[in-house]
Copies of this chain bind each other. A is one copy, B any other.
Amino acid sequence: MSGQAKSRPNGMENIVIIGIGLIGGSFAKDIRRLRPKTQVLGIDANLEHLNEAEQLGIIDGTTTYQDLSKADMVIVSIPVDALVQELPKILDAVDDDCVVIDAGSTKALACKVVENHSKRRNFLACHPIAGTEFSGPSAALEGLYDGKTNIICEVEKTAFKLQERALELFQQLGMRIRYMNPEAHDKHIAYVSHLSHISSFMLGKTVIEKEKNERDIFDMAGSGFESTVRLAKSSPAMWTPIFEQNKENVVETLEEYILNLTEFKQLLLNDEFEKVYQEMDNTNRIKEILKGIPVGNEK
């Protein structure tokens, strides 16, 4: 692979994954599978996760920020509150020829905190639209990124040869690339991802509250309910800082969602069932829209 040859003539590149959970672990698994000569090392604030990743053979070993200067590529896959704290330190620690890629679900603040960093050109802001509702290294999946979208922000701020190194990996993983500015990313992802998570969490809450004394009732639930509340299994540690960083956009989507629900409720109360039908019929268009979404899991 020319991607490996670029940094180390013998293909012995070093990739460090910071945050070796579902996202980082899945990167590690595929890199080890696709690039057998590459050394994949892990860093994680959670030592249990780090040990687990090593025991599962997801990483070749562990490393520290002190040794980051040996890395050709660093993939940072940690909650976005930790990301904005760690990113400047990581850039401080890496070599001039190293590309640092993040995987955060919000992009504006991450780009902001490094905008004046002397190694801004070493950073590529990414959001791979992939994942599941599970977390930790044991949730890592081989092939997770195959066919998935990777949104890259402010690509023009990254050194060209480092962009190229990152893109070679994404291509090898089978990802399709979309370029977007961080503000547009955060605005739109609030609709197609963050709102889904809140609607699911609050659906779960509503049903649990109502049915707390009626355990058998969940016997009545089928996979329609399961599908709609699946995201309510997601990690609060991951999602709280996402909602915090993207608060303004998320609140806007929530207001529109609540308004639509309230109007629907009013149609029911007014016995306007033709309009109820029409609302659902109009929304059936989602069938066509969803055809464009790659099958698989997502965060």
- CB of A45 within 8 Å of the partner chain: no
Within 8 A of B (CB), among A242-258: 243-244, 247, 250-251, 253-258
Q: A250-B268, A260-B202 are in contact. Are A178 and B224 (CB under 8 A)?
A: no
Beyond A227-B231, A228-B196, whether A286 also contacts B222 by CB under 8 A is no
Instruction: Please encode chain A, from 180 to 216, with 1 for each CB lying within 8 Å of some chain B CB and 0 for all others.
Output: 0000010011011101111111111111111100101
CB <8 Å contact, A198 and B232:
no
Q: Which residues on B sit within 8 Å (CB–CB) of A129?
A: 220-222
- Whether A1 sits at the interface, judged by CB under 8 Å, is no
Q: Is the C-beta of A151 less than 8 angstroms from some C-beta in chain B?
A: yes
Contact count band on A: 35 or more
In the complex the two chains form, is B229's CB within 8 Å of A280's CB?
Answer: no
Known: A233-B284, A233-B287. A257 touches B202 (CB 8 A): yes
| Interface 9-mer from A65-73, A113-121, A154-162, A291-299 | A291-299
In contact, B217 and A188 (Cβ under 8 angstroms): yes
Of B224, B229, B282, the residue contacting A286 (CB under 8 A) is: B229
Q: Does A46 contact B (CB under 8 A)?
A: no
CB distance from A96 to the nearest CB of B (A): 32
Q: Determine the distance from Cα of A185 to Cα of B277 in the docked complex, in whole angstroms.
A: 23
Complex CA–CA separation, A148 to B223 (angstroms): 10
Q: How far is the CB of A259 from chain B (nearest CB, A)?
A: 8
The number of times this chain is found in the oligomer is 2
Query: For chain A residues 74-94, which have a beta carbon within 8 Å of chain B?
Result: none
Q: Name A223's closest neighbour in chain B (CB-CB).
A: B298
Binary contact track A253-278/B, C-beta < 8 Å → 1, others 0? 11111101110110011010100111
Cβ A261 vs Cβ B208 within 8 A: no
From B185, B220, B224, B232, A284 is in contact (CB under 8 Å) with: B232
Question: Contacts A218-B292, A240-B277, A268-B247 given: A228-B206 contact, CB under 8 Å?
Answer: no
Can you list 24 A-B contacts (CB < 8 A)?
A: A133-B224, A188-B220, A191-B210, A191-B211, A192-B218, A196-B203, A196-B224, A196-B225, A196-B229, A199-B261, A201-B279, A202-B283, A206-B257, A210-B256, A218-B289, A222-B293, A223-B296, A227-B230, A227-B231, A228-B230, A233-B290, A237-B277, A243-B273, A250-B268
